[in-house]
């Protein structure tokens, strides 16, 4: 959900930012309730498949956000970017979506502040 929301936020703000996604232990498929929740937001991820994140994915990244893991689990040697861990307070998908929308928006606000 966070990736899809970040892609939408990036596009809405007209930013040229690459977004990589993956997990350290990805599931076989995206959960149906996640697909449905994002469809209600006008975002279709029904064709996406979870994938494993690798050090190559973030070697040029300046910022990494993780959920349920730590960047130390997959960071390349010598990587010097910034990382944040987002622990979600909510347990159900709808509440997680609301929390992620707020966090993603705030993350992009913070990136804009850094560029000034």
The CATH number covering residue 30 comes to: 3.40.50.2300
Cα–Cα distance, 38 to 32 (Å, whole number): 10
Residue 116 lies in a domain: no
Cα 32-107-116 angle, rounded to 5 deg: 150
Which domain range does residue 37 map to? 2-108
Cα 43-87-54 angle, rounded to 5 deg: 70
- Burial of 34 from C-beta contacts in 10 A (0-12 / 13-18 / 19+): middle
Residue 114 lies in a domain: no
Residue 115 lies in a domain: no
**For residue range 11-57, what is the model confidence (pLDDT) as tens digits?**
999 999 999 999 999 999 999 999 999 999 999 999 999 999 999 99
Q: What's the pTM?
A: 0.92
Instruction: Work out how many domains the chain is built from and give that number.
Output: 1
**For residue range 46-98, what is the model confidence (pLDDT) as tens digits?**
999 999 999 999 999 999 999 989 999 999 999 999 999 999 987 899 999 99
């Amino acid at each position: 959900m966070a990736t899809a929301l970040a892609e939408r936020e990036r596009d809405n703000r007209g930013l040229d930012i690459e977004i990589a996604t993956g997990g350290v232990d990805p599931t076989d498929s995206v959960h149906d309730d996640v697909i449905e929740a994002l469809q209600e937001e006008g975002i279709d991820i029904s064709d996406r498949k979870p994938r494993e994140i690798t050090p190559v994915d973030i070697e040029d990244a300046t910022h990494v956000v993780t959920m349920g893991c730590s960047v130390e689990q997959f960071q390349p040697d010598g990587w010097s970017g910034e990382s944040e861990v987002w622990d979600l307070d909510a347990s159900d998908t709808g509440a997680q979506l609301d929390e992620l929308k707020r966090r993603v928006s705030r993350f992009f606000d913070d990136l804009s502040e850094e560029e000034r």
